[in-house]
Structure 1
Amino acid sequence: MLKEGSGQRIDRLKRFWAGVGLVALLGGCANLGQQQQPGGPEPDQSAASGAAPASDAAAASAPAPVVAPAPVTKVVTKTTWVRVRRGDTLARIAKLHGCSVKDLQAWNRGKTGRLRKGQSLKIVSKQTITVQAAGSGATAANAAGNTPGSTAGNRAVAAEVARHARSVALVWPAQGPVVEAFQAGETRGIEIAGKAGDPVRAAADGKVMYAGTGLNEYGSLIIVQHNKDFLTAYSHNRRLLVKIGDTVHQGQQIAEMGSEKNDRVAVLFEVRRDGKPVDPMPYLPPKS
């Protein structure tokens, strides 16, 4: 974990987070200006008499058209966590989240006898998404759901991203132990250890605002915006599985864990509220 050792580094980080939107806009311009330049060698006209006409040759060498695989509809299980507020009852929580009290009790065995303020309860729901079937060369990650979800699901995420919120309900982005805790003013988040290639998952539904290597200290970095007030960041990845503008869903794999720009295999997980790093632990459910 890298510490904020000087005012210069803090200023640079502030400028980076303030400029994330600009980076996203410029990302699509990287491949411009790569057209073939004039001045190349002239073709050998002496060999042209024995060659097939250009149009025939082009037709013969043209690759067969690629037929995109048909979309596939899948039903996925989505797990979210809610925090109990003062005065909450099982009936009230069930009504707010469209489930039954019996379901709540089944999902949270042994934890619903007497509710406590701040307690986390699991909510399980089914969601239908449409994904593009994997064709030749497609990665298993894309086939598993990194392609856009259903239109209705994406609209719901877009609406959430556009509104203000007082909090955000997260799941753990990785399964390993926390090897570096959050320290206000010194660290940016928590480090969760694991093995190279372990899945790194989106902590909540949201939109990918950044995916790349724009700041050296972070290595391969993903930033996901969840609403107008909260975003999460995932650093030091070995491989990124999403791109800027993608809609992601809670629990979806977005990267592979690595050690880029870090001295151990771990994901640096940050929660930012109004652009400022806060301790992720109060927003995460207790580990079972």
Structure 2
Amino acid sequence: MFEDDRTGQRTNGLIGFWAALGLAALLGGCANMNPQQPQQQPQPDTAATATPASDATGADASGAQQAASAPVTRVVTKTTYVRVRRGDTLARIAQKHSVSVKDLTAWNHLKPNGHLRAGQSIKLVSKLTITVQVAAPQAGGAAANSTANSAASRQVAAEVARHANSVALVWPAHGRVVEPFAAGSTRGIEIAGKAGDPVIAAADGKVMYAGTGLNEYGSLIIVQHNKDFLTAYSHNRRLLVKTGDTVHQGQQIAEMGSENNDRVAVLFEVRRDGKPVDPMPYLPSSPQG
């Protein structure tokens, strides 16, 4: 009886949640959503925030900055897509783009011996190394991070604005799945843990909602990854991002909790074109995978 009541409450709560945010705005046109801010807007963690130093003026200051400049590199994820041509195979595409067939199948959720169709979009993921010059020792770290973050944010914005056939996710938390996906009753999976455990972004994206305005969810974060896929993370103890932030895969966005839940766990949802789908096919085989 408890499980039936709990499932019914979650189903009603989920229906109310998506209705409250506006299905057409959030799920039909995610890129243009501008949800109303809740009264209790969580504040981001500012421990790593740096304030860039003022620009130096005068020839002496400029010369000192140039003398102190040094190259700084940062690695960011780059995602591109290629169109399948007639006669293409996974092996041929992998060889042409210097990647492995194993990676191609993982990025696109394909079978190793699966057939491709002409015109199909294939996702390629690579690491992009950005080199910048640090202008001054005391502000160098902030300047380098600002430049690299700007480039990474532009890449994420481009991804969010395009349609995609899939999304490559990582586990949002390390823990045991205590409630699986069940179409029509649950809209995601629950991953258990300890209060304060990190909840991380499953993929690069833009935070479309971060707040506590929906009681059934407790503290909730919604991240849009492209025009077709978004993820949601709820029942958190503390939110570390705010609406409008750009987040990157593996970045901690919250602390696990039990807000409006009967156990410490994160409720993780994946939505495709507005419809809840089982997150498991989009995740590695295990939280460590």
TM-score by length of 1: 0.63
Flag the 1:220–1:77 CA change in 2: closer, same or farther, 3 A.
same
CA-atom RMSD in angstroms:
4.3
Which of 18, 21, 36 is equivalent to 1:26? 36
Higher relative contact order (CA 8 A, sep 6+): 2
Offset at residue 238 of structure 1 (A): 0.8
Cα separation, 1, equivalents of 2:40 and 2:198: 28
Cα separation, 2, equivalents of 1:189 and 1:147: 35
Offset at residue 277 of structure 1 (A): 1.2
Offset at residue 3 of structure 1 (A): 2.2
Cα separation, 2, equivalents of 1:148 and 1:175: 32
1:150 equivalent in alignment to 2:149: yes
Unaligned runs of 5+ in 1: 32-66, 109-113, 131-142
Q: Which range is displaced more, 151-160 or 197-206?
A: 151-160
Secondary structure of the residue aligned to 1:192 is strand
Equivalent residue number for residue 17 of structure 2: 13
1:3 equivalent in alignment to 2:3: no
The alignment-based identity, stated in percent, is: 58
Aligned partners of 1:24 and 1:244 also within 8 Å:
no
Cα separation, 1, equivalents of 2:257 and 2:147: 25
Equivalent residue number for residue 272 of structure 2: 273
Which protein shows a greater Rg? 1
Q: How many residues align?
A: 225
Offset at residue 8 of structure 1 (A): 6.1
Cα separation, 2, equivalents of 1:6 and 1:268: 11
Aligned partners of 1:17 and 1:275 also within 8 Å:
no
Equivalent residue number for residue 283 of structure 2: 284
Q: What does the per-residue CA deviation read over 1:115-140, in whole Å, with 9 as the maximum and x for residues that have no partner?
A: 3549xxx967355599xxxxxxxxxx
Cα separation, 2, equivalents of 1:208 and 1:76: 22
Q: Which amino acid aligns with 1:93?
A: A
Q: Which amino acid aligns with 1:190?
A: I
Unaligned runs of 5+ in 2: 27-31, 42-49, 55-70, 106-110, 116-123, 133-141
Q: What does the per-residue CA deviation read over 1:226-282, in whole Å, with 9 as the maximum and x for residues that have no partner?
A: 111110000011110101100111111111111111111111000011222111001
Equivalent residue number for residue 35 of structure 1: none
Flag the 1:187–1:30 CA change in 2: closer, same or farther, 3 A.
closer
Aligned partners of 1:206 and 1:248 also within 8 Å:
yes
Cα separation, 2, equivalents of 1:178 and 1:7: 18
Aligned partners of 1:219 and 1:260 also within 8 Å:
yes
TM-score by length of 2: 0.63
Cα separation, 2, equivalents of 1:105 and 1:273: 24
